[in-house]
Chain A
């Protein structure tokens, strides 16, 4: 069985480090990739399409980032959707519980969920279970 692939997009390097650590601790069956802004993540998605590499099953996407933020990423991702065959579950991750962000999130059908930082182990397990149905 192939490994479940998770993509982390966040400009907070400590968050990336900690979350990677968490995922490593959960299962050996999970691979993690991370980028510090939306633009880089988008470039990676573009690469995947181009190289016909399998897409990450879960993307934990931060809202506030330099260059291209979470919303910008979602907009650009929407443009590429036609070329993506795999199901990609995108979770918007933010440290604020701003109503405005929650409302805006509803406009994107590409989003699977909305997660408020800190992302705990339980939360991660819940997400992975929902996506992979324990096949990880």
Chain B
């Protein structure tokens, strides 16, 4: 039962599981594709943002490089009065960390420094001839802008503390004679920008990297830029660990690998919103010290979190399916078992019923037969009682009447004349007694001994009982037409007695004027054996005597003596062997007795 139940359950559940697994895989793939697309978009937006920021800064430096400086501006004496009104403008610009004018020899001519981001103040000049950005700035042509790496500010070749990540923009400046007189260098404070770029690490990590994949800023927090603060290799650890070729190639890409979604997007200076604005005049050339890129990582745990509802739905669906299918399987198996049980019971009952029916049939048959025998017995008993009450009573009452008369009679002669009457009465009583004896002998037979009886042989053997046949003088012949059957299971004794009576009658009641015969003919009626005994004798008037043919003491031929017992005994004997007899007869033609076995 349990095995069947389990099999049924598996049969239902496995296809469902397979389908839902396929669906889960499909949905998961779709969801990851969503993540990938979203990440690509986020990276793009961030590069656009950074590009916009850069152009904004370039826009700032352009302002300074666009000013036509007076001839001799590079000397200390000349610039103070000229520059002062401009300086008034920048004094409160919060995102300038430093504003410097450097001459062509790399000496600082003007230096404003932010007082912790609050106010720009004049500061002591330094020689920056060895600085990369100065060397690169000196090579710039008119209209060109240089953007440095993002790194920590250094003062006198020492990293300034607290750390201050800055982006330097450099542009050449010209006097009214269009002579290059120096460089304008602005250190922009970019901490806020970088923070903005990398914030919300819970929605994926953002890294800003440079050409060498140095991490400039990351969502991991800490000091900026990390590559300068910590060991370079260590800073890169989490990126190089990934070993993602896509990032190493430094081409724009977004992909799913090792459970995480990675996105790499180069920051291009030709996209962004500002560059498309008519108010903004783009520089002729931007010289980038490095090529930045945004790297996004949607880590495995966040992706798993995103996928969790899918798994959750899957698990819930499976649980519901398991419960439902378990119920269905159980119900089905139970139904099947009950059906099988019921069927078995039904079969058993049917079998028992059939058996009962069979035995009932046998009993019924037995009852029917017994009933028939009982009826016959009853009939016989009634006949017997009638015989006694009627036939015996008559002579007895007569006798008592005569005795009465004798008592009253005075004349001895009269008494004497009555004596023969008494004698006759006693004769008839003894005769009757003999008949009763004979009848009882027939009726009282024990269950007749049944055996295979060959009718032909039996009749042949009886021939010598009738001298009329043996002598051959009487013109009487027995004819056998026993084609249908010759033998029957019956009582040999009864049959012999019956045939004796029938043959005897046929001889006695033959017509003397014709050649007499008695035909024994076998046949079937409704599948049962029938024997016809046909003669061409005197016949019986059936209209008159039809009911009385087989009754006791009935005689139909006045001219031929007889007691009227023969056919009565034939009928009684046939009843003993469960057979019946009937007659068809025509006076002057003959009779046909039909015995149904």
Cβ of B95 under 8 Å from chain A: no
Most A-side CB within 10 Å, residue of B393, B556, B564: B393
From B192-200, B384-392, B531-539, give the one contacting chain A: B384-392
Nearest-neighbor residue (CB-CB) of A69 within chain B: B548
**Interface membership of A129, Cβ < 8 A:** no
A129 to chain B, nearest CB (A): 22
From residue 174 to 210 of chain B, which have CB atoms closer than 8 A to chain A? none
- Cβ of B548: which chain A residues have Cβ within 8 Å of it? 69, 72
Report chain B residues within 8 Å CB of A98. Answer: 386, 389
Beta-carbon contacts under 8 Å, B364-417 to A: 386, 389-391, 393-395, 397-402, 405
Please determine whether B390 and A14 come into contact, CB atoms closer than 8 angstroms. no
| Interface presence of A118 (CB below 8 A) | yes
Q: CA–CA, A67 to B554, complex, Å?
A: 6
Q: How far is the CB of B534 from chain A (nearest CB, A)?
A: 24
Q: Taking A66-B564, A95-B397, A117-B394 as contacts, is the C-beta distance between A14 and B554 under 8 angstroms?
A: no
Cβ–Cβ contact B558 & A64, under 8 A: no
CB of B544 within 8 A of CB of A13, answer no
Check B421 against A64 for contact (C-beta < 8 Å): no
Q: Residues of B contacting A66 with CB < 8 Å? A: 553-555, 564
Determine if B398 and A18 form an interchain contact, defined as CB atoms under 8 angstroms apart.
yes
Q: Which of A60-97 contact B (CB under 8 A)?
A: 63-64, 66-69, 72, 76, 94-97
Nearest-neighbor residue (CB-CB) of B555 within chain A: A66
Closest to A17 in B: B421
CA A15 – CA B395 in complex, angstroms?
8
Contact assessment for A94 and B390 in the assembled complex, using a CB-CB cutoff below 8 Å:
yes
Tell me which residues across on chain A come within 8 A of B586, comparing CB atoms. Answer: none
Partner of A14, one of B389, B402, B545: B402
| Closest chain B residue to A10, Cβ basis | B394
Chain A residues with CB under 8 Å of B398's CB are 12, 14-15, 18, 118
Please indicate the chain A residues that have their CB under 8 angstroms from the CB of B395 in the complex. Answer: 12, 14
The residues in A between 77 and 136 inclusive whose CB is less than 8 angstroms from any CB of B are: 94-98, 117-118
> Within the complex, what minimum Cβ distance (angstroms) separates A115 from chain B?
12
The majority secondary structure among interface residues of chain B is: helix
B358 interfacial by beta-carbon distance below 8 Å: no
**B424 touches A (CB below 8 Å):** yes
Q: Are B394 and A12 in contact (CB under 8 A)?
A: yes
A124 and B390 alpha carbons, distance in the complex (Å): 20
Q: How far is the CA of A23 from the CA of B553 in the complex (A)?
A: 29
- Residue from B389, B400, B421, B554 within 8 A of A95 (CB atoms): B389
Cα distance A63–B552 in the bound complex, in angstroms? 13
Complex alpha-carbon distance, A31 and B548, angstroms: 32
Chain B: interface residue total (CB-CB under 8 A) = 26
From residue B530, how far is it (CB to closest CB) to chain A in Å?
A: 30
CB closest residue in chain B, given A120: B401
Tally of contact residues, A, Cβ under 8 A? 23
- Measured in the bound complex, the distance between the Cα atoms of B546 and A72 in whole Å is 10
Residue of A nearest to B564 (CB): A66
Contacts of A117 in B (CB 8 A): 393-394, 397
How far in angstroms is the closest Cβ of chain A from B311?
A: 103
Of A14, A63, A72, A118, the residue contacting B421 (CB under 8 A) is A14
Interface assignment of B425: CB less than 8 Å from any CB of chain A:
yes
Do residues A96 and B555 form an inter-chain contact, with CB atoms below 8 A?
no
Q: Report the Cα distance A60→B400, complex, angstroms.
A: 20
Smallest Cβ-Cβ distance to A100: which chain B residue: B382
State in angstroms the CA–CA spacing of A91 and B454 once bound together.
Answer: 52
A95: B residues at CB distance < 8 A: 389-391, 393-394, 397
- A63→B399 CA distance, assembly (Å): 20
CB-defined contacts of B564 to chain A, threshold 8 Å: 66
Q: Tell me the B523-574 residues at the A interface (CB within 8 Å).
A: 544-545, 548, 553-556, 558, 564
Specify which chain B residues have a CB less than 8 angstroms from the CB of A68 in the assembled complex. 544-545
In the bound complex, what is the Cα–Cα distance between A66 and B544 (angstroms)? 12
Contact A67 B558 (CB under 8 A): yes
- Is the CB–CB distance between A72 and B424 below 8 Å? no
* Interface pair A67/B556, CB less than 8 Å apart: yes
**Residues of the A chain whose Cβ atoms lie less than 8 Å from the Cβ of B397:** 95, 117-118
Chain A contacts with B in 1-29, Cβ cutoff 8 A: 12-15, 17-18, 21
Closest to A68 in B: B544
Complex CA distance for A12 and B391, rounded to whole angstroms: 9
Assembled-state Cα–Cα distance A14/B421 (Å): 7
Which of A15, A64, A67, A118 meets B390, CB within 8 Å?
A64
How many angstroms between the C-alpha atoms of A18 and B405 in the bound complex? 9
By beta carbon, the residue of chain B nearest A76 is B544
- Which residue of B is nearest A18, CB measured? B401
Inter-chain contacts of B402 with A (CB < 8 A)? 14, 18
Lowest 4 A-B CB distances belong to which pairs? A14-B398, A66-B555, A95-B393, A118-B397
Residue ranges of B at the interface with A (Cβ–Cβ < 8 Å)? 386, 389-391, 393-395, 397-402, 405, 421, 424-425, 544-545, 548, 553-556, 558, 564
Please give 9 more A-B residue pairs, beta carbons under 8 A apart, in addition to A17-B421, A63-B390, A66-B554.
A12-B398, A13-B424, A14-B424, A18-B402, A64-B553, A66-B564, A72-B545, A95-B393, A95-B394
**Sample (8) of A-B pairs whose CB atoms are under 8 Å apart:** A14-B421, A14-B424, A64-B390, A66-B555, A66-B564, A72-B544, A96-B393, A97-B389
